[in-house]
Structure 1
Amino acid sequence: MNNLSGKPQVMKKVNSALIKQILKEKGSATKAQITENTGISTTTVRTLLEELIINKQIISLGLDDSSGGRRAERYTLNLDDNISLSFYIENEFINYALTNPLGDIIENKTVKIEKNNHEKSLEKIIDKILKDSNIKVIGIGISGVVDKGNYFSGKELTDWKKFNIGEYIEEKYTIPVVLENNLNAIALGFSLNYLKEMKTLNMKSLNLVYIHFTEDGVGAGIIANGQLIRGENNFAGELGFIPINNHGHLEHILNNNPSDETYVNVVSHVIAILNCVINPSFIVIGGTTLRKNLLDKIKNNCKNYLANNIIPEIILSKDSKKDYLAGITYLATEFMYSDIKLTKKQI
């Protein structure tokens, strides 16, 4: 924050973001409550509230009941005019959701892709939605390594191709695009959903690895101390390229229809490696090609490679589609009201 003190326009965005953050957390607040919770001066809060109302980012709920003194005006986020649109593509379908600033899903649909043309199908959905909704940010989940508005994807170490879907959509519609790796989004979404069930857990202290098995490959989303781990080149979690003894990469082994015994042993080895490197509390496994019938054998076999007092809880994912959408919508919604990032993108 100190490095930004000499940049008024930047500080204005930061302060606006803090105000919207408080309104998101509390649902509504008065000018005095916003000043108290943000540390921003009363004069600055008053000026920013006026601008945010003009820009339709917040609305006034009117005056509070009198408690003997002057009645205070109460403000809240404008849920109708600040919508995020989130996509993820799976096989021949595009799944999307419209979400308000509080993260509530307004609309959730699945659309078939036209002749494997992802861009054209995305554009049709966006064009249709923009007729009725004021979209402030678009979140897109992809299978590959994210690089700004682009991503790289491939099954071999030497045949990765570049795709510019995020950059293309952002330039065409002049709407910010949040592009995220599918496994990162699924790991984040699972964590958010799981934390709602397990109220004793805290996101800031969460250590989790989500391993996903599909026909496109095997990968992982990693959360360490509440933060998504992307790595220097956003390559973290590309488990398919892990070399397994003399058998080649994990991807090749799983694609060659290994016996159940080999499958159990290989997956157990990968879990043991992740446990040594990340030391997660939970390892979640799921996906369409996971041999779920072998889960108990995998758990038992892991004991051969893990210290008896440092064994993560292994959980089967129940609904990866739900987790995927939850992760993408969360990232898009967070971006929408953040205005500016002071650090690298994080959860």
Structure 2
Amino acid sequence: MDDIRYNKSIVKNINESLIRKAIQGSGNFTKTKISKETGLSFPTVSRILDEMVASGEILVSDVDQTTGGRHAQSFVINPDYAYVLCLTMGKSSMNAVIVNILGEIVGRQKVDLAPDWTGEKIFLDMLDQLVTAVKETYPQVKAISMGLPWGVSAGGVILFGAAAKGLENFNIQEYIEKKYKISARVENDMNAVAAGCYERLFDRDRTRSLACINIGATGLGCGIYVRGHLVRGRHGFAGELRYLPADRSANLNQEYSDNFSDENKGTSIAQMVSAVCCTVDPGTFVFYSTSDLDLALAEAEKKLAMYLPEEVHPNLLLSNDYWQDFECGLIAFGREQLLQGYQIVTR
């Protein structure tokens, strides 16, 4: 493999990505400030920022009076330069949230769907109807993020859980990128929820670990973050708690479909928590539910002593912020698409 230091295109892409990340949330900024924050030379920063001004990505704001000596030119991000389209599937609609480059919501749209819909063509017709309508209203859309209630690979292939809809093995991410010539990221819904929850609880702290569990209408699902990184597994199967064995003849999905008998609910939750702790050891679990889980979580905390050493017991939290976290996670994924470039990753 060629040394990336001698590939001008890759180096420029890395530098642009570093600068875009540095100016997010900066308010007004100068070339000197960005040079210091990124470690890039002043001429490199100056050249890239001048290109961003020419394209409209950033705007000349003012003259910075605080630098001493010559007054430095100041810049701000143009929030309307690029938008992100975030897509979710509801029971009766496909929903769109449109946000600007700063993550601020600028609009919402949706298309209705029949609850018993099935078939790839119907799904794609709904998707195309919604994306086309959004792009007509917001031509600045330059990235799409989508959360689906099925198993999805890292490349956007629907792997499992959607057989009844006729969508398994369909690469929805590739379809979007080819049809609309736009960057896309498609994830399992709980991965997006966990991303939003992580940001809400821990902000930019990349030392924490989190598991988000939804006990909802479509079954059990879990999104996992370890030290600030999403855990998917080889097939995107990480977090599919419904397939954990409940006894010799069934998995948790069968037990869940029987609504967890009240006397077993605390035990079942404690077993789920223990299984996740034994593999990725998150310090915090967040549970989302349409039903009252207060008593069950209290019982689960007591039952944990049967399965785990006290020293590794996690915090168990109950949340009603499922949709808020879902949207925030998709917004974060979409903004990453706008900022994406080559990255130097240290492990």
TM-score band w.r.t. shorter chain: 0.7 to 0.9
Deviation at 1:257, TM superposition (A): 3.8
CA distance in 2, matches of 1:54, 1:149: 34
Matched, 1:153 2:130: no
Change in 2 beyond 3 A, CA 1:209/1:3:
farther
SS in 2 for 1:303: helix
User: Paired residue for 2:130?
Assistant: 125
More off after superposition, 333-342 vs 107-116:
107-116
- Work out whether 1:232 is the aligned partner of 2:234: yes
1:286 aligns with 2:291: no
Question: Shift in Å at residue 155 of structure 1?
Answer: 7.6
CA shift for structure 1 position 54:
2.3
1:209 CA drift (Å):
0.9
Partner of residue 173 from structure 2, selected from 160, 163, 166? 166
Can you list the C-alpha shifts for 1:68-108, whole angstroms capped at 9, x where unaligned? 52221112222111111111112222232212222222224
Q: Distance in 1 between matches of 2:217 and 2:41?
A: 55
Q: 1:167 to 1:67 in 2, by over 3 A?
A: closer
Partner of 1:199: none
Letter aligned with residue 339 of structure 1: G
In the TM superposition, what whole-angstrom CA distance separates every residue of 1:234-293 from its partner, at most 9, and x where no partner exists? 221111111223142111221134422233322221111222222221111113467555
* Secondary structure in structure 1 of the residue aligned to 2:312: coil
What is the root-mean-square deviation of aligned Cα atoms in Å?
Answer: 2.6
State the identity as a percent: 26
In the alignment, which residue of structure 2 is the partner of 1:11?
11
Residue in 1 that maps onto 2:60: 60
Kindly indicate whether structure 1 or structure 2 has the higher relative contact order, using CA contacts under 8 Å at least 6 residues apart: 1
Q: Which residue of 2 aligns with 1:94?
A: 94
How many angstroms does 1:147 deviate by? 4.2
Q: What pairs up with 1:221-300 in 2 under 5 angstroms?
A: 221-288=223-290, 293-300=295-302
Gaps of 5+ in 2: none
1:30-49 alignment runs, 5 A limit: 30-49=30-49
Give the aligned partner of residue 197 of structure 2: 190
Secondary structure, counterpart of 1:166 in structure 2 = helix
Unaligned segments of structure 1, at least 5 residues: 197-201
The CA deviation at 1:7 is 1.0
Q: Contact conserved, 2:135 with 2:141, CA < 8 A, in 1? A: yes
- Do 1:241 and 1:250's aligned partners in 2 also have CA atoms closer than 8 Å? yes
Q: Which residue of 1 aligns with 2:187?
A: 180
The verdict on how the C-alpha distance between 1:334 and 1:288 changes in structure 2, with shifts beyond 3 A counting, is same
Q: Secondary structure at the match of 2:137?
A: coil
1:114–1:121 contact (8 Å) kept in structure 2: no
Aligned to 1:137: 143
Name the TM-score, length of structure 2 as normaliser.
0.88
The SS at the match of 2:333 is helix
Q: Tell me the number of residue pairs that the alignment of Structure 1 and Structure 2 aligns.
A: 337
Deviates more, 1:258-267 or 1:17-26: 258-267
Letter paired with 2:158: Y
